[in-house]
Amino acid sequence: MDPYSEIVTRVADELIPRVASLTVPHQTSWGGRGESAGSAVVFTEDGYLLTNGHVVGSATSGTAAFADGTEAPFDVIGTDPLSDLAVLRVRRGVPGPVRLGDADALRVGQLVVAVGNPLGLAGSITAGVVSALGRSMPARDGRTVRLIEDVIQTDAALNPGNSGGALATADGEVVGINTAVAGVGVGLAVPLNSTTRRIVGELLQQGRVRRAYLGLVSTPAPVPTQLAERLGHPRALRVVEVVPGSPAAMAGLRPGDLLLAAGGHPTRGAQDLQRLMFADAIGRSVELTVLRNGAMVDVVAVPSELTASSG
């Protein structure tokens, strides 16, 4: 067997038993009852599964089926629409957990393997490469729209039903939860990294995720060369929009500002800011350092709690 096939086969052998096929009841648009399908990944010894928030929607329970033919009911422990992640718990024994990796260590061109249950075909596996990193994908919770940052783009074939399944490295470590098909040959996965691990932890403990809200839209941008050398990082966040009346507006942030640091931490990308915007930041002052018209300016913002009306 060639080396490529050996890698994919090894990953398949390890992960297929640990990726469940989900059947989730839902209300149809005409008021009847229907079912939707998806996938989920076993990530603890005691029966917790990780999937997409959109797979379970507003459901509170469903059925998980495993590759060995066993089926078990599950309960929804918590969902977070703004990261498109959900935690489930199966009511009886499950296979051992997958090994979780760190998506922040991925590189473009790296081999990845997708495991899920597309189109009702349980235990399906496809392989490809990481096509791009740092993509953004909109997620909606009521009227609030938030970008899921640092989404993994892959050319491993994904189809309906793959959502909630595993995206793994050649070593078999799960680094993402497959979430969307963006087009032919373009699949997206929510990364598993320090930020999403914190989200999963809050779902396990509280069933939901409380977030702090600043009220700005930003995009990565280069730092001027001389300043970048002094700061030690070449990228920051350009403020594109400031929501009127938001904490960012009250702090005096303006479109065009280059956000260099928040709370004393460099903001090289959106994830650096988002990892600070959890419950412990609500109502507490955070110092923001921006570059404005060639001068560094410090402002203080007090994040509020993100609600459905914040957006």
pLDDT of residue 306: 83
What distance in Å separates the CA atoms of residue 56 and residue 114, rounded to the nearest whole number? 20
3-state secondary structure 139-193: EEECCEEEEEEEEEEECCCCCCCCCCCEEEECCCEEEEEEEEEEECCEEEEEECC
d(CA 64, CA 79): 17
Q: Give catalytic residues, as residue numbers.
A: 54, 84, 163
Task: Supply the pLDDT for residue 139.
Answer: 62
| Burial bucket for residue 39 (CB in 10 Å: 0-12, 13-18, 19+) | buried
Taking the CA atoms of the chain, what radius of gyration do you get in angstroms?
21
Q: In 3D, which of 85, 53, 67 has the Cα closest to residue 192? A: 85
Query: What's the confidence (pLDDT) of residue 35?
Result: 78
284's tokens: 């507490």
Residue 133 CA from chain centroid, whole number? 13
Q: For the chain (length 311 residues), average pLDDT per consecutive 10?
A: 90 95 78 78 95 92 92 94 92 90 94 85 86 75 59 85 92 93 77 91 92 87 91 91 92 95 90 84 95 94 81 55
The gap between the terminal CA atoms of the chain, to the nearest Å, is 53
pLDDT at 128: 93
Write down the pLDDT at residue 122: 72
How far apart CA 146 and CA 207 sit, in angstroms, is: 19
